[in-house]
Amino acid sequence: MREYRRAYTDLTGSLLIDLYKQKETENIALSPFSVMVLLGMAAQASAGETWKQILQTLGMDDPVRAIQGIQEALDKEPGFHSANAVFVQEALKNAVSEGYPEALKRDYNGKLFASEDIVSDINKWTKKQTRGIITDIAGESMKHAVMGILSASVFQRSWTQHYSYDDIEPMEFRNADGTVKETDTIWTLEDMFIADTLVTGFVKQYRRSGCSFMALLPRLEGEEALLQVLENLDLSTVFEERINVETAVYLPEFAFQQTFDIREYCRAQGITELFTEHADFSPLSEIPVHLDTLIHKAAIDVSRKGTKAAAVSMGIIDITGAFFPEMEVKLNRPFIWAVMHNKTALPVFAGVVNRL
């Protein structure tokens, strides 16, 4: 796992910077793990230049080995859960390459589902795998999609200390746009302090968990100062350099969800062929397809009780060109017709329409 930490933290940093520039003064929540897994699954389903571009962005020669190692470590932690899946329209299930479902299960512990209503089934899966924290990710505009690749992760854990009403204090929080809002904060003493040239912060432990909460405050104020921190910060290194010093902490309670389109991020990182008619998904199917949509949705809730966080990354696959236009059949020339007996599959009536 440590062998690939640099690639993981580089992906985290570049994602944070890209989303920060996109959203300006808005909140950001993401799961780098979920994004990495989705890109790994996309690489598994692709070949040629498409495959090379994804691997170059991931910064890994063997993403399956790296992701399996990271997932194995995370799955051991109480409160953490992850799941991967691929959905395919029922009418196209036989177009999936014979060995793909087995490879999906072997490499990513993922399952292939055939669906008659891909939007509804993706949203049901999302709600289940995020334990209800995220209830949907697919919209009606995706109802004609032929396939969907999904990776979900969720974390739920309480603090080591239970907080009472006396531990909650009001505090004015100055928003990025200059407005001020009074909010509830948890006042506590922690024993892990972070001091860096760019930030100060703390680490707070979760109850019966190998995970911790870390918060970092830029030493300088302003939007440019925060961007400078994002562009120069290695979260793993800062976390490892924490020191054992008693620290007074005021942690505001906050909760929000955010959805990002990460196609432009991928294009900026060099993954361009994936979204074009030149995409090579031959390991997945012989049908010419490309990735049409790439969405990341994340939710975070930090309160006096603990932390709930969930994320889903979704790639929607459509058929390229006019090979299979919106799954329609237009009877605008002579055609054969039949009345079939369902049980025996025998034609009870049959004929041809040559003219109307």
**Mean pLDDT for the stretch of residues 56-70:** 89
203, 95: one domain: no
Range of the domain at 224: 165-253
Looking at residue 243, the DSSP 8-state letter turns out to be B
- Confidence at 110, pLDDT banded by 50, 70, 90: very high
100, 194: one domain: no
15, 114: one domain: yes
Pairing, β 306-319 against β 289-302: antiparallel
Looking at residue 25, the DSSP 8-state letter turns out to be T
Which pLDDT value is given to residue 322? 47
Q: Is 132 strand, coil or helix?
A: coil
**Distance between start and end Cα atoms, the chain:** 67
Asked whether residue 352 carries a pLDDT value surpassing 70, the answer given is no
| 118 vs 222: which has the higher pLDDT | 118
* Distant-in-sequence, close-in-space partners of 141: CB < 8 Å, separation ≥ 6: none
58, 144: one domain: yes
Asked whether residue 246 carries a pLDDT value surpassing 80, the answer given is yes
Q: For 9-20, what is each residue's pLDDT tens digit?
A: 888 889 898 988
Q: Report yes or no on 331 lying in a domain.
A: no
142, 181: one domain: no
Q: Give the integer Cα–Cα distance in Å for 308 and 156.
A: 4
Domain boundary among 222, 253, 284: 253
Q: Report yes or no on 345 lying in a domain.
A: no
Asked whether residue 327 carries a pLDDT value surpassing 80, the answer given is no
181, 145: one domain: no
Number of domains in the chain: 2
228, 313: one domain: no
Q: For 170-220, what is each residue's pLDDT tens digit?
A: 988 988 888 888 999 998 888 989 998 989 898 988 998 888 899 999 888
Q: Report yes or no on 342 lying in a domain.
A: no
Q: Report yes or no on 334 lying in a domain.
A: no
97, 18: one domain: yes
Long-range contacts of 270-278 (CB under 8 A, 24+ apart): 270/53, 270/56, 270/57, 271/39, 271/53, 271/54, 271/57, 272/53, 273/49, 273/50, 273/53, 274/42, 274/46, 274/50, 274/53, 274/54, 277/320, 277/321, 278/49, 278/50
Q: Give the integer Cα–Cα distance in Å for 192 and 183.
A: 24
Domain boundary among 207, 232, 253: 253
Q: Give the integer Cα–Cα distance in Å for 91 and 328.
A: 12
111, 173: one domain: no
Asked whether residue 23 carries a pLDDT value surpassing 50, the answer given is yes
6, 151: one domain: yes
Q: Give the integer Cα–Cα distance in Å for 44 and 120.
A: 25
The top-scoring range by mean pLDDT among 119-128, 276-285, 310-319, 338-347 is 119-128
Which pLDDT value is given to residue 2? 67
Torsion sign (Cα): 114, 115, 121, 122: positive
Q: Report yes or no on 65 lying in a domain.
A: yes
CATH number of the domain bearing residue 198: 2.30.39.10
Mean pLDDT of the chain: 86
Q: Which residue in 30, 169, 304, 212 sits closest to 202, CA to CA?
A: 212
Q: For 68-108, what is each residue's pLDDT tens digit?
A: 988 888 888 888 999 999 999 998 888 899 999 999 999 99
Q: Report yes or no on 351 lying in a domain.
A: no
Q: Report yes or no on 353 lying in a domain.
A: no
What are the C-alpha distances in Å from 215 to residues 199, 242, 249, 250, 252? Answer: 10, 12, 10, 11, 11
- Confidence at 342, pLDDT banded by 50, 70, 90: low
Q: Give the integer Cα–Cα distance in Å for 345 and 343.
A: 6
Q: Give the integer Cα–Cα distance in Å for 151 and 310.
A: 11
Provide the residue count of the chain.
Answer: 356
Q: Report yes or no on 344 lying in a domain.
A: no
Which pLDDT value is given to residue 324? 43
Asked whether residue 343 carries a pLDDT value surpassing 60, the answer given is no
CATH number of the domain bearing residue 138: 3.30.497.10
180, 313: one domain: no
241, 263: one domain: no
Q: pTM score, two decimals?
A: 0.87
